[in-house]
């Protein structure tokens, strides 16, 4: 992997996150709408095939097409740490570093608005019952660039409606990696879908997926155009860099950075106060990736794939969790789950561990 792009030095050191003025203009997103009432029966997490990268490399039985993760979607998880105060139909406006918070009756997810001058980032985080998965809406002067498309249709619709209310066209929706929580809802945005070629291949190899409500998402609806290229691209006057990170949370991950604005769009290379997904059995690869990110200078804002936006301090948290995971993850998935939850009792997304265990230990039964 190349380190040249995100290490690129920048002339102006960005403001620390806690001094950024958060903006929320209710007149732009103020029209009342009926809250979406979600019901989450216990149902299977996407199971149509194993991840494309699973074959052999993690020592599990990659050739067996019969076994599937057995994790169940647990609606009790909706009382997770990140939104334990929220009821369906409420929204929370989070202003990092201030006590600002407003609640109303419109959104299920959480939007954090980061004002970076010419760029404004609207980070949409789904509730805990959708793994706190995020979509980043990057607002440039004339356009929106969306990163990741949500898992559940209802949350994709909610985030897309928020984006549309900004009054700018969605230039493209970039899918960062081939896990369905980031793309099952992507078609709902009505935007061109793009990804790295490797991510495209992983999505196609996985085929149709189910979201946690059981809805089937045909792969044809969410297959991205494999047009993302590693390197720099100026979009609407804003410099973006795209890097291909191999290994870790997923075999192929796109890392996006905005070097002039101090923003790393890390997505699933970083989880923030959410249990990490080890289903690819590649903690060492993830540790390598985190060191790469942590070594990038001039980035004060880190957008996580699960959880709220963070500062660079989040790298230490992820490092610590990876170290703990490597220590605790043995031959017994249940024991691991108990042990890691004991160390991170306040983290959301405990069922992420179940999903990962479904992949890691499914072959033990045969
Ligand atoms: Zn994810």
Q: Structural domain boundaries of the chain? A: 17-365
CB atoms within 10 A of CB 284: 12
Between β-strands 263-271 and 170-174, what pairing exists: parallel, antiparallel or unpaired? unpaired
Distance between Cα 268 and ligand 1 center (Å): 5
Name, in order, each residue with C-beta under 8 angstroms of 89's C-beta and a sequence gap of 6 or more: 35, 36, 37, 105, 106, 108
Token pair belonging to 107: 């959104």
Sign of the CA dihedral running 356, 360, 361, 365: positive
Distance between Cα 105 and ligand 1 center (Å): 27
Distance between Cα 23 and ligand 1 center (Å): 27
Enter the pTM of the model. 0.75
Write down the pLDDT at residue 112: 84
Task: Measure Cα distances from 303 to 62, 82, 95, 308, 358 in Å.
Answer: 32, 16, 14, 7, 27
Q: Find out whether 258 and 240 touch, Cβ atoms under 8 Å.
A: yes
Distance between Cα 182 and ligand 1 center (Å): 6
SS3 call for 113:
strand
Between β-strands 238-246 and 231-235, what pairing exists: parallel, antiparallel or unpaired? antiparallel
d(CA 102, CA 95): 9
Q: Find out whether 158 and 130 touch, Cβ atoms under 8 Å.
A: no
Distance between Cα 27 and ligand 1 center (Å): 32
Residue 268 DSSP label: E
Task: Measure Cα distances from 138 to 215, 235, 238, 256, 303 in Å.
Answer: 28, 11, 10, 11, 11
Write down the pLDDT at residue 359: 86
Write down the pLDDT at residue 150: 97
Distance between Cα 20 and ligand 1 center (Å): 27
- Paired residues of 120 in beta bridges: 115, 139
Task: Measure Cα distances from 6 to 146, 198, 289 in Å.
Answer: 20, 20, 12
Q: Find out whether 154 and 108 touch, Cβ atoms under 8 Å.
A: yes
- Look-up: residue for tokens 């190899």? 205
Distance between Cα 306 and ligand 1 center (Å): 6
Token pair belonging to 154: 């209802």
Q: Find out whether 171 and 144 touch, Cβ atoms under 8 Å.
A: yes
Distance between Cα 31 and ligand 1 center (Å): 31
d(CA 60, CA 96): 41
What tens-digit pLDDT sequence spans the chain (366 residues)?
A: 444 455 443 333 333 333 232 323 333 333 323 222 222 222 222 221 222 222 222 222 232 322 222 222 222 222 222 233 333 333 333 332 223 333 333 577 888 888 888 999 999 999 888 889 999 999 999 999 999 999 999 899 989 988 988 899 999 999 999 999 999 999 999 999 999 999 999 999 999 998 878 889 999 999 999 999 999 999 999 999 999 999 999 999 999 999 999 999 999 999 999 999 999 889 999 999 999 999 999 998 999 999 989 999 999 999 999 999 999 998 899 999 999 999 999 999 888 898 898 888 875 444
Token pair belonging to 312: 């660079």
Task: Tell me the HSE value of 63 on the side-chain side, using a 13 A CA sphere.
Answer: 0
Distance between Cα 319 and ligand 1 center (Å): 18
Q: For residue 37, how far is the Cα from the chain centroid?
A: 23
Distance between Cα 299 and ligand 1 center (Å): 22
Distance between Cα 32 and ligand 1 center (Å): 30
Architecture, CATH, for domain 17-365? 4-Layer Sandwich (3.60)
Distance between Cα 270 and ligand 1 center (Å): 10
Distance between Cα 12 and ligand 1 center (Å): 32
Q: Find out whether 251 and 51 touch, Cβ atoms under 8 Å.
A: yes
Distance between Cα 256 and ligand 1 center (Å): 15
Write down the pLDDT at residue 71: 22
């Amino acid at each position: 992997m190349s380190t040249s792009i995100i290490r690129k030095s920048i002339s102006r050191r960005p403001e620390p996150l806690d001094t950024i003025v958060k903006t929320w203009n209710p007149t732009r997103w103020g029209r009342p709408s009926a809250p979406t009432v979600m019901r989450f029966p216990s149902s299977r997490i996407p199971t149509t095939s194993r991840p494309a990268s699973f074959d052999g490399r993690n020592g599990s039985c990659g050739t067996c097409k019969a076994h599937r993760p057995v994790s169940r979607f647990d609606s009790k998880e909706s009382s997770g740490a990140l939104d334990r105060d929220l009821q369906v139909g409420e929204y929370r406006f989070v202003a990092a570093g201030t006590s600002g918070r407003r609640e109303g009756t419109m959104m299920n997810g959480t939007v954090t608005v980061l004002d970076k001058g010419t760029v404004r980032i609207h980070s949409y985080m789904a509730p805990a019952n959708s793994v706190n998965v995020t979509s980043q809406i990057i607002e440039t002067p004339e356009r929106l660039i969306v990163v990741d498309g949500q898992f559940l249709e209802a949350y994709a619709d909610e985030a897309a409606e928020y984006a549309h209310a900004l009054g700018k066209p969605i230039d493209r929706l970039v899918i960062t990696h081939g896990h369905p929580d980031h793309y099952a809802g992507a078609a709902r945005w009505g935007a061109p879908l793009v990804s790295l070629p490797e991510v495209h291949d992983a999505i196609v190899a996985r085929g149709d997926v189910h979201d946690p409500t059981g809805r089937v998402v045909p792969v044809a609806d969410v297959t991205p155009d494999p047009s993302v290229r590693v390197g720099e691209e100026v979009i609407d006057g804003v410099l973006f860099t795209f890097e291909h990170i191999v290994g870790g949370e997923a075999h192929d991950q796109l890392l996006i950075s905005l070097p002039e604005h101090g923003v790393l769009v890390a997505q699933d290379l970083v989880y923030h106060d959410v249990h990490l997904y080890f289903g690819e059995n590649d903690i060492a690869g993830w540790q390598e990736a985190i060191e790469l990110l942590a070594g990038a200078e001039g980035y004060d804002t880190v957008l996580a794939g699960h959880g709220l936006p963070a500062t660079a301090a989040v790298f230490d948290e992820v490092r610590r969790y990876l170290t703990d995971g490597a220590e605790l993850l043995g031959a017994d998935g249940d024991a691991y789950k108990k042990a890691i939850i004991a160390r991170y009792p306040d983290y959301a997304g405990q069922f992420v561990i179940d999903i990962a265990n479904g992949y890691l230990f499914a072959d033990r039964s045969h």
